[in-house]
Amino acid sequence: MSPALISVVITTYNRPDALTAVVEACFAQDDRRFEIIIADDGSGHNTQQTVAALQARSPLPLRHVWQEDLGFRAARARNLGTLNACGDYIIFLDGDCVPQRNFISQHRKLAQPGYMVQGSRILLNEPATARVLGQHLDLSTLDTGAKLAWRRSGALNKVLPLLMTLPDVGRTRRRFTWRRIKSCNMAVWRADLDLVNGFDESFLGWGHEDADLVVRLYNAGVLRKDGAYATEVFHLWHREAKRDHETSNRATVLQRRIDRTIVATKGLRA
Q: Which residues contact 230 (CB under 8 A, 6 or more apart)?
A: 106, 109, 110, 120, 165, 166, 168
Burial class (CB in 10 A: 0-12, 13-18, 19+), 259: exposed
Q: Write the pLDDT tens digit of every residue in 7-59.
A: 999 999 999 999 999 999 999 999 999 999 999 999 999 999 999 999 999 99
Q: How far apart are CA 111 and CA 165, in angstroms?
A: 16
185-189 and 115-118 beta bridge pairing: antiparallel
What is the rounded average pLDDT of the residues 231-242? Answer: 88
Q: How far apart are CA 113 and CA 1, in angstroms?
A: 7
Domain ranges of the chain: 6-259
User: Would the pLDDT of 179 be above 90?
Assistant: no
Beta carbons of 116 and 186 less than 8 angstroms apart:
yes
- Give 244's pLDDT tier (boundaries 50, 70, 90): low
Other CB atoms within 10 Å distance of the CB of residue 46: 12
CA dihedral sign of residues 51, 53, 58, 63: positive
Rg (CA), the chain: 18
Q: How far apart are CA 81 and CA 70, in angstroms?
A: 17
Specify the range with the lowest mean pLDDT, choosing from 111-120, 204-213, 220-229: 204-213
> What is the average pLDDT value for the chain, to the nearest integer?
94
221 phi-psi bin (left φ>0, alpha ψ -120 to 50, beta other): left
Specify the range with the lowest mean pLDDT, choosing from 13-27, 65-79, 217-231, 232-246: 232-246
- Give 206's pLDDT tier (boundaries 50, 70, 90): confident
Q: What kind of architecture, by CATH, is found in domain 6-259?
A: Alpha-Beta Complex (3.90)
Q: How far apart are CA 207 and CA 171, in angstroms?
A: 26
